[in-house]
Amino acid sequence: MLQRLRENKSAQGTLLALPTTVWLFILLIIPLVLTLIVSFGKRSPDGDVIYTFTLDNYIRLFGYSTDCTNGQTSCFDPLYVNILWRSLTLGFNTTVIVILLAYPLAYFIARADPKRRNLFLFMVLIPLWTNFVIRVYAWMMLLRKEGAINIVIGWIANLLHIPFTPLEMLYTPGAVLVGMVYEFLPFMILPIYTSLEKIDGSLYEAAADLGANAFKTFLRVTLPLSMPGVVAGTILVFIPVMGTFVVSDLLGGKQVILVGNLIQRQFLDARDPTFGSAASLVLMVMTLIVTYFYTRKFGFGDEIVAA
């Protein structure tokens, strides 16, 4: 009897998971396999794919080429390697800055009066109601030479009688970093807040009874128990930052090219889907490697597991 019940539950579970499995196979597995196949092909003169097996796209992506004009059999061009490294560095810097900004705010919201928490969370979520691209354009208006930031700095400089030349902030790596931090900050605040809000207040009372001051309580109680939220937020921020191209395209112009921009231009401008597919797969592997070692070190965020 128990065996039949277990078999029925297993069959029901399989039926419930079947629609999701089918959609996952159609929308994820098949496109990924097609991308892998295309990445080993060659580009025809008219931009189509010649299906064959060659590693030329991956060799080219990592800077090596067999087509050199100086008589050498091989040559090295660090252009694409620099783009890969720039994307990885930007993703790391963005994630670190977002954590440093999000943690105090999430802590403040979690410790606020329960009647005011919803208001604070509402204020955090308000920017997400606006289109992603519109928010980036708003930063373009702020960072340009005639923008609000330069106007305010110039006004302060005039009050202090200091010569001031408008700052070149737009179309720089710093502008891209600011845009990334702004866009992904809410995705770090919410999981950290969730972890902090779950901490039982009796733990703080126990720490105080044992003689721990506020700093020791934070290090030994608050921070360890909030790490699942930090890990979840890190994954939610780092992975999309590595693949995004809108922020770097608008705030960085032609000066800051990331892997996302490279992939976009290969598919839309250069009409080279084979090289774009290879870059997509390398980006995915890079992101998976970093995420794997990070989650092995700190665990996988409970908020993501629960979701």
Note the Cα 298 to chain centre separation in Å.
Answer: 18
Residues of the chain with pLDDT > 90: what percent? 34
Pairing of strands 75-76, 64-65: antiparallel
Tell me what the mean pLDDT of segment 279-284 comes to: 92
CA nearest to 171, candidates 139, 149, 148, 132: 139
- Max mean pLDDT among 66-70, 123-127, 279-283 falls in 279-283
Instruction: Compute the Cα dihedral for 129, 133, 136, 141 and give only its sign.
Output: negative
Higher-scoring residue by pLDDT: 106, 65: 106
pLDDT at residue 300 in the model: 58
Note the Cα 52 to chain centre separation in Å.
Answer: 33
pLDDT at residue 39 in the model: 92
Lowest-confidence region among 104-118, 165-179, 283-297: 283-297
Higher-scoring residue by pLDDT: 10, 279: 279
Whether residue 136 is predicted with pLDDT greater than 80 in this model: the reply is yes
pLDDT band at 4 (very low <50, low <70, confident <90, very high): low
What one-character DSSP code corresponds to residue 279?
H
Which region holds residue 72: left if phi is over 0, alpha if psi is between -120 and 50, else beta?
A: beta
Q: Quote the pTM value.
A: 0.84
Tell me the one-letter amino acid at 254. K
